[in-house]
Amino acid sequence: MTLPGKMGTVGFFGSSSDVQIYDGTRVITLTNNGDSYYEGSSEKYIVYEDSGEFYLYDGSRSLRLTNNDEIDFFEGIFGNYVVWQAEAAGGADEQYELFVYNGTTIVQLTNRETSLAYEAASNRYVVFTNDRDDDGLELYIYNGNQTIQLADDNNDFQSIGYSGFQGVSNRYVVWKNFVPPLSSDDNNELYAYNGTSTIRLTNNLSEDTFQGVSDRYVVWTDGGDGQLHLLDGSRIVQLTNNGTVSDTYIGIFDNSVVWTGNDGVDEEIFVYDGIRRQLTNNRILDTYLAADNGYVVWQSNDGVDNELYAYKLDALPNLPTMPTI
C-alpha cells in the first residue's frame, strides 16, 4: 500500500519525542511515551525506535523488528526491505549481525561471523561482506529468497580474490576482483552480477574506474584504453574512442548515459540511449548544466551571446547541427 501524507516526528519532550504521522486527514500517534525516535520512511513503511527497539508501521499495524538489550543501527528502507544491524547478544564488543525484513518475515543474514560490513541495498539486493572462512573477505547478496556468495578473497594473491564493492541497482551488483599475475599492483578487474550470472567487464593490467550503475547500465572507464564503456544487458559497448583525451562521465538518467568528451576540436556533450549521439557540434565551449525530468540542459554560444539548450532524453531522432563559431 501507499502511505499518504507527511511522515515525521512531532511533539518533542526534552531529548526524546513521540512519533506521529499525518495521513492527509488526521494525525496518527504511533508512540506515546516520550522515548521514541523517527528513523526513516518510504511509500510502504515508517520505521521508528521506541524504548530502544525498532518498529515498522505499514499503514495498518506496527510490527516489532528487534527485541534485545543490545545496540541496533538502522541502515535504510529499500522497496520491501528494511535493513538494520544489531550487536550480537553475548558476543564480543562491536560484533554485529545483519538483519532484513523482506516484506513478510525477518531474516538474520549473519551469525557470529567476523568482519561484517553492510555495503548497500536496492529494491532487489542487500549487499554485505563477511569473513566466514577466516581467509579474507567474501562478498554476499541477499535477493529476497536466499544468500548468494559472489566473490571470495583467498588472501593468497595467487588466484582471483575479492577486492572491493563498487555499486548496486535493482539489476546489477558490481565489484572488483584482484586477478593474478602479480605484475601490477593495480590489477583489479570489474565484475557484474545480473541476477543469474557473473560477467567480467574488464581485462587489463591497469586500474579501472567504476562510474555508475542503473537498472539498465553499468558504466566504467577502462584503465587499459582510458575510454568509457558500458554494459547494456549482456553487451559491452565502448562509448568513446579519442586516444589519450579524457572524458568526463556525468551520469545515468533514466535510460540514457551522459558525458562530455573531445571530438578532436573541443569538448562536446554526448548521450547514449541505445545509440551513441553527439548533442553539440561546434568550436566553442559547451557548458553542461543539468539532466533532470527527462532532459539534458546546457549553455552554448549562438554567435551573438550565450543561450540555453535542452534535448529530451530517449527522443533524439534528428539532432540539429550547432552553429560553428
Domain boundaries, the chain: 239-325
Cα–Cα–Cα angle for 2, 122, 132, rounded to 5 degrees: 135
Q: Which residues is 190 bridged to in the sheet? A: 176
Give the CB-side neighbour count of residue 139, counting CA atoms within 13 A: 25
| Poorest-pLDDT segment among 88-92, 186-190, 207-211, 280-284 | 88-92
Measured CA to CA, the distance from residue 222 to residue 189 in angstroms comes to 9
Measured CA to CA, the distance from residue 253 to residue 189 in angstroms comes to 25
Whether 269 and 296 have beta carbons less than 8 Å apart is answered as: yes
Q: Name the burial class of residue 276, with classes exposed (0-12), middle (13-18) and buried (19+) by CB atoms within 10 angstroms of its CB.
A: middle
Measured CA to CA, the distance from residue 54 to residue 47 in angstroms comes to 7
| DSSP-derived 3-state class of residue 138 | strand
In this model, does residue 167 exceed pLDDT 80? yes
Q: How confident is the model at residue 98 (pLDDT cuts 50, 70, 90)?
A: very high
Whether 162 and 137 have beta carbons less than 8 Å apart is answered as: yes
pLDDT digits (tens, 9 = 90+) for 61-70: 999 999 888 8
In this model, does residue 13 exceed pLDDT 60? no
**CB neighbour list of residue 145: distance below 8 Å, 6 or more residues apart:** none
**CB neighbour list of residue 61: distance below 8 Å, 6 or more residues apart:** none
Report the length, in residues, of the chain: 325
pLDDT of residue 26: 87
Whole-number CA gyration radius for the chain: 24
pLDDT of residue 4: 45
Give the residue with greater pLDDT, 184 vs 265: 265
Q: What is the mean pLDDT of the chain?
A: 83
pLDDT digits (tens, 9 = 90+) for 112-141: 666 788 999 999 999 999 888 777 789 999
Q: Which residues is 16 bridged to in the sheet? A: 13
Q: How confident is the model at residue 181 (pLDDT cuts 50, 70, 90)?
A: low
Measured CA to CA, the distance from residue 73 to residue 60 in angstroms comes to 25
This prediction has a pTM of 0.85
| Poorest-pLDDT segment among 17-31, 128-142, 155-169, 203-217 | 155-169
pLDDT of residue 92: 58
Give the residue with greater pLDDT, 15 vs 122: 122
In this model, does residue 12 exceed pLDDT 50? no
Measured CA to CA, the distance from residue 231 to residue 222 in angstroms comes to 12
**Measuring CA to CA, how many Å separate 87 from each of 55, 103, 239?**
17, 23, 46
Q: How confident is the model at residue 257 (pLDDT cuts 50, 70, 90)?
A: very high
pLDDT of residue 3: 56
pLDDT of residue 234: 84
